[in-house]
Each structure stands twice: as C-alpha cells, then as structure tokens.
Structure 1
Amino acid sequence: MQGGFPIDLILFAMVAAFLVLRLRSVLGKRQGYERPPQAPGVPEARSTRVENVTEDIARARIDGPRRTLPITSTPAGQALSRIGAADPSFDPQGFLDGAEQAFRMIVEAFARGDRQTLRSLLSDDTYAGFEGAVTAREQAQQSQRTEIRSIQEMAIEGAALNGTLAEVTVRFVSDQVNITTGSGNEVVAGTDAVTEVVDIWTFQRDVATKDPTWKLTATRSA
C-alpha cells in the first residue's frame, strides 16, 4: 500500500530474531512443563511417561520422536546428574528439545550450503569438515536437496563432564530424502525414496560460561 508503513517486513524480522534467540537458548536450558510456547513446527508435549524397559535404560515417551534416557545408575546417567549439578538449568528432556531443533537446522543448512548457520552451531573443527564438503559440492556444480520427513527416535547414549566441559552424545533415527543433482539437474546421488538414517552426534558446552549454546563437535553414522 503506497505511503503505508511496511509492517509485514518488521513482523518477519521479529520472527526471525526470535527463532535465532530460541535456538541459542534452548540447548541445555531447563524446558520442563513451565517452558514458554515452543517455536512453530515443534509440538508441545502433552504427557510424559517413563518406563523401565530394561535394567540399563528408561524410555521417556512424549509426542513426537521416541526418546530414550539413561537411568541414573548407568555411567551416562551419573554423568548427566553431574552436569545438572554443575549447571542447574540443565535438564535432559529440555536438552533433547534443543538437540532436535539443532539436528533439523544443521542437516538442512548443510544441504543449502548455509555457512552462517553452520558456523553458529558447530565447533571449529567440525565446521571445517562441513565447510569443506560444501565447497567441494559447489566446485562440482552440484546441489543437494534434503528433506527430514520425520525423526523416529532420539536417545542419549553417552555423557561426560571433564572439568567444566560437558559432553552429551545423542543417537538420531530419522526418515529422510536426500538427492544430489549436477549442473544439468541430473541425479548424481541419492533417491526420491524415503530412507532411514541413523546419526550419532556429540554436543559440547563449557558450563562455566554464560553462553548456553551446545555446539556439535563430532558426527558419525551408525
């Protein structure tokens, strides 16, 4: 509208700023049941039920991905307790909320070649590996399309606290579509079929700092 104030642009900018701040604060922050409304696309948990399915693990089931947490008697469970003691804001369920968002953002940013997003969420060494792969793809004039159709399972498989450096390893089981195309839009890798992908990601954070961001430090496929 001529002469009008561009209120739609301001609203978009405010939403973008909120999402960036939300991601930086959610990993490791206590989410609990008193958390504020989640970002669009992340369903609010309606119920939580914990079951002892073996002597080694407890499964916390909520809407969305099936979640597995180690029980407190295991080394990983004891490490999570130590992390919580060092950082009272840490909560395993809240951590998984943020880990899910980070997983989606990192996978999609890598496919787009979004270096800025990757830089903010990855450690220096991990970023170097991701950036190298993006550069090689660009030099080959290839493009990647990745769609995360669903995340079926998330499990905390390991944890440690070395001094003030906290480390949590998460297993993601997701259904994805991954296709790499060449300069002529020909398919050079991948398929339109939905494929189950299992990723093991390790996040780290110095709990002595005020920065709440957990950064991805290692990745591997199972």
Structure 2
Amino acid sequence: MMYSPAPERLRRRLTAANCDVFDIYTIIFLALAVFIFIRLRSVLGQRTGRERPPYDPYSRRDAAKAPAGPGDKVVNFPGTANDTAPLPTPVEPVEDAEPSPARWAGVAEVGSAVANGLDAIAAQERDFDAKHFLTGARAAYEMIVVAFAHGDRAALKDLLARDVFDGFSAAITEREQRGETMETQFVGIEKADIVEADARGNSAQITVRFLSQLISVTHDKQGGVVDGDPEQVADVTDVWTFARELGARDPNWKLVATEAAS
C-alpha cells in the first residue's frame, strides 16, 4: 500500500487552526478579565489602612460596658456617675478687711455724718478717693466761675446738670441783652471742705464749701462799672453740690446745685 500525506497534512492544519482559535479566545477572556478588574478597582477603591471599620452596634455596646483601660482616654461630664475625679475643695470667701476709721483723715472726722456718707459712696465704688474728688472739685469750681464770666456756654454744658445749666445760661442771656460784660480774675481757692455726702441708690451727692478769692467786675455798654471792683480782691464763699451715678462709665461729677453763703 502506498503512503498518502493527505491525512497527515489535514491533521496538522486542524491542529494549527485549533491553536489559533484557542489563542484568540484566551486573549479575549484575559482582556475581559482585566477590564472587569480595573472597573471593580475604580469603584471599590484601594485600602490604605485608614479606612473606618464597619459599624457594629453590638461591639460598640460591649465597648461601652467594658471598663476603660489605663491607656484609654475617658471624658466624663461633671456630676455623672462616671465622674471619679475629686471635686475641688471649696474655698471660703475672703472677707474684705474693715476700712480704717481714719480713711478720711483730713477730709472728714471719724464717725461724722460726712464720713458715714463717704463710706456709703465707697461701698459702691471701691476706688473712690475723697481727696482726689476735692482736687477735681477745685478745678471744676474755677472753670465754671471763669466760663460763666466769659459767657462760655459750651464749657458750662459739660460741667453742669441740665437745670443748673439752664439757670446759668439764662443769666448769661440777660447780661448780654443788657449789653453788659463781666471780667473775672481768679486769685485762688483758700479752702474747699466737704460739708455733706450721701449715696441714695446708685446716685451720690457731695456738697463742698469753697472759700475763694477773685477780682470780678461788670461793665455796662459804656464801660462803666455796674458791679464789683477791678482793684479789690473779694472773698467769696460758695456752697456747691456735685452728683454722679455710681458705677457709670462717665467718671465726671456734675454741678447740680449752687448756693451763696456769707
């Protein structure tokens, strides 16, 4: 029998064809698998080690019941059962020392009505200083006397209570209507004493008697002297009352009443 190469060649062709088919399907499946992997990776992401664990209510409940270890940080609300921190030892309030009976030395006698009134003011304003007040009262007295003589309403407005300002302003207006001018030369204040002091509610009033020396003269339209003496120093005694609201932001006292004394 003669050998024919046809079956052998046919087998080889079929084997090559099967290999080609296998390679094509393998490539397709691999490509599909890679595509699916990439899609899943983009959707699910990668684990970085910082992800929060899945929520487990039972584990949290058990953790809440478990006592805290030495390394755990527990923040307790004050007054709760878990607040084991010792309460601070209550500190007894320190009472203010009794003021010295001689705190108003040089201003008011110990136990006098003036001293008691100053005590009442200082009880509401701890930094109240009677001597400092008198220094300011002296300056205010001189400023008011000079401003009134010059007819300076703007300066008076900041130093006087409304009703007192209205009285001073009316007197200045009358003087202007008569055509008179007033000249005052302040020589000085010989004495300024607190004669009354009181605190009612949050309102304080202090009355001061001023003994001053000044030269004052009023001229008419023609320049003639209608009051005073330009060559003589006069002794003047005035009793003025200053007031302010205790605790107010404005520390200035204002003149609320005037009285001439012999």
TM-score under structure 1 length normalisation: 0.69
Name the residue aligned to 2:248. 209
1:47-74 deviations in Å (ceiling 9; x for gaps): xxxxx9xxxxx873xxxxxxxx222301
1:57-107 deviations in Å (ceiling 9; x for gaps): x873xxxxxxxx222301111110111121122100000010010001000
Give the CA deviation at 1:148: 1.5
Name the residue aligned to 2:201. 163
Name the residue aligned to 2:181. 143
Name the residue aligned to 1:120. 158
Structure 2 gaps of 5+ residues are 1-101
How far apart in 2 are the matches of 1:196 and 1:150?
10
Give the CA deviation at 1:172: 0.3
How far apart in 1 are the matches of 2:110 and 2:105?
12
Query: Secondary structure, in 3 states, of the residue corresponding to 1:70?
Result: coil
Query: Secondary structure, in 3 states, of the residue corresponding to 2:158?
Result: helix
Name the residue aligned to 2:92. none
Query: Secondary structure, in 3 states, of the residue corresponding to 1:138?
Result: helix
Aligned residues: CA RMSD = 1.4
Q: Which aligned pairs between 1:170-185 and structure 2 lie closer than 5 A?
A: 170-185=208-223
Is the 8 Å Cα contact of residues 72 and 81 (structure 1) preserved in structure 2? no
Is the 8 Å Cα contact of residues 203 and 215 (structure 1) preserved in structure 2? yes
TM-score under structure 2 length normalisation: 0.59
| Identical amino acids, percent of aligned pairs | 38
Bigger share in helix: 2
1:197 is aligned, of 222, 236, 240, to 236
Larger Rg: 2
How far apart in 2 are the matches of 1:205 and 1:187?
39
| Greater Cα offset, 184-193 or 111-120 | 184-193
1:73 is aligned, of 88, 93, 111, to 111
Query: Secondary structure, in 3 states, of the residue corresponding to 1:101?
Result: helix
Give the aligned residue type for 1:94.
H
How far apart in 1 are the matches of 2:105 and 2:180?
41
